[in-house]
Amino acid sequence: MRDTEVGLCASCRHARPVDTPRSRYWLCERSATDSRFAKYPRLPMLDCPGYEPAEAEAPGAEPGGSAD
């Protein structure tokens, strides 16, 4: 799924992809503490009051790796 099909969720620190055998969904982790946010928002998400850009990964760093 391309970023344009996902919208803001593709680069939001509160969203993570959830893969199933037939689909990929985007889970909004803000939904766990704030009922204004859908657990699985309709995509593409073009405007969101809870959007926060994910921290940029350091060049050469493993995605999802921990810092030493």
pLDDT digits (tens, 9 = 90+) for 11-57: 999 999 999 999 999 999 999 999 999 999 999 999 999 999 998 65
Q: Which of 61, 55, 48, 65 lies closest to 6, judged by CA? A: 48
Read off the pTM: 0.73
> Looking at per-residue confidence, does 61 or 21 come out higher?
21
Q: Which residues contact 53 (CB under 8 A, 6 or more apart)?
A: 11, 12, 13
pLDDT of residue 68: 46
Q: For the residues 52-64, what does the mean pLDDT come to? A: 66
